[in-house]
């Protein structure tokens, strides 16, 4: 049983792609859920902390799976491929945790000294399933799997989100209500749809961007934060990928409007 979601990354997107992980009561707890590893940064490794919240001694096995993202806007957002290249070193690859114990697990890049594009991995932590008041008489060992996420990148890699202008559509619906006859202005609901392409060589997350809408008369307004990502199925953009975006507006846009997407400036 795998428990994961991508943020972005999602992340399973997951997604929030965002990729995330919960904790099982009386089992292991893993922190952080998502981490970023720069192959040319200092240090060039990251660590996960594993805590045993149960009253039993638990063995934990650890392995690595590469996340292969779908570059198209349709279909499954990703697939999982067992990593056999040993680009990521996991140490230790297995451990035994006493009740209440905490131990760090180190993740270090041993692959190429340069990357064509960023890569993402599931680090899978497997523990025997805890059965309260029951014994497993079948002789089959049952494991519960937890996925944390490592995004591997380099300083020179950058995302580049652009709007596919040929994909922009809006569907306008007049909203009827019991008060509509008294309204001075008719009420509308607008569904704005388009495709965003990540033409860069590094992943991006949509909540790090602002959508700027410019009307034909020059009036501008922005959509960002929760309003931008709340209606999206997948907000994690792998390198060289495209995703559909749908946004509900309370007013129609005049013909000739334009859209731009720009990164938010975060305060350090």
Q: How far is CA 122 from the centre of its chain?
A: 12
How many Å is the Cα radius of gyration of the chain? 23
Beta bridge partners of 258: 214
> How far is residue 34's CA from residue 147's CA, in Å, rounded to a whole number?
9
pLDDT of res. 214: 95
Beta bridge partners of 222: 212
> How far is residue 173's CA from residue 250's CA, in Å, rounded to a whole number?
10
Q: What is the pLDDT of residues 218-246, one digit of tens each?
A: 899 999 988 899 888 889 999 999 999 99
pLDDT of res. 181: 54
Q: Which residue is listed with tokens 């008060």?
A: 179
Low-confidence stretches of the chain (pLDDT < 50) are 1-25
pLDDT of res. 74: 67
3-state secondary structure of 61: strand
> How far is residue 242's CA from residue 200's CA, in Å, rounded to a whole number?
11
Q: List, in order, residues 6 or more apart from 107 with CB less than 8 Å away.
A: 35, 37, 45, 46, 47, 48, 88, 89, 90, 123, 150
3-state secondary structure of 48: strand
What does the DSSP assignment read for 122-163? EEEEEEEPP-TT---TT----EEEEEEEEEEE-TT----EEE
pLDDT of res. 220: 92
3-state secondary structure of 99: coil
Instruction: Spell out the alpha helix ranges (H) of the chain.
Output: 226-229
pLDDT of res. 234: 85
DSSP state of 20: B
pLDDT of res. 5: 36
> How far is residue 81's CA from residue 26's CA, in Å, rounded to a whole number?
30
pLDDT of res. 6: 41
Beta bridge partners of 144: 127
> How far is residue 209's CA from residue 196's CA, in Å, rounded to a whole number?
12
* In contact, 16 and 5? CB cutoff 8 Å: yes
Q: What is the pLDDT of residues 131-140, one digit of tens each?
A: 555 555 555 6
Q: Which residue is listed with tokens 């131990």?
A: 103
> How far is residue 115's CA from residue 119's CA, in Å, rounded to a whole number?
9
b or e along 18-35 (b: 16 or more beta carbons within 10 Å of the residue's beta carbon)?
bbbbeebeebbbbeebbb
């Amino acid at each position: 049983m795998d428990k994961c979601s991508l943020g972005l990354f999602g992340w399973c997107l997951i997604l929030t792609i965002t990729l995330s992980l919960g904790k099982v009561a009386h089992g292991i707890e893993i922190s952080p859920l998502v981490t970023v590893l720069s192959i040319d940064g200092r240090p060039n490794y990251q660590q996960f902390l594993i805590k045993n919240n149960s009253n039993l001694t638990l063995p934990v096995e650890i392995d690595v799976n590469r996340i292969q993202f779908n570059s198209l806007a349709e279909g499954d957002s990703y697939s999982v491929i067992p990593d056999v290249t040993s680009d990521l070193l996991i140490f230790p690859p297995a451990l035994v945790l006493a009740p209440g114990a905490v131990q760090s697990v180190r993740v270090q890049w041993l692959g190429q000294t340069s990357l064509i594009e960023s890569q993402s991995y599931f680090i899978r932590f497997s523990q025997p399933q805890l059965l309260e008041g029951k014994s497993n008489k079948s002789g089959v060992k049952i494991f519960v799997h937890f996925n944390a996420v490592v995004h591997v990148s380099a300083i020179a890699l950058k995302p580049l989100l652009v709007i596919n202008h040929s994909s922009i559509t809006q569907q306008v619906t007049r909203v009827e209500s019991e008060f509509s006859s008294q309204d001075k202005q008719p009420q509308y609901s607008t569904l704005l749809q388009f495709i965003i392409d990540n033409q860069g060589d590094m992943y991006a997350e949509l909540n790090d961007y602002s959508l700027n809408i410019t009307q034909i008369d020059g009036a501008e307004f922005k959509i960002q934060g929760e309003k931008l990502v709340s209606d999206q199925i997948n907000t994690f953009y792998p390198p060289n990928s495209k995703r559909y975006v749908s946004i509900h507006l309370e007013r129609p846009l005049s013909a000739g409007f334009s859209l731009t997407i720009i990164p938010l400036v975060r305060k350090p």
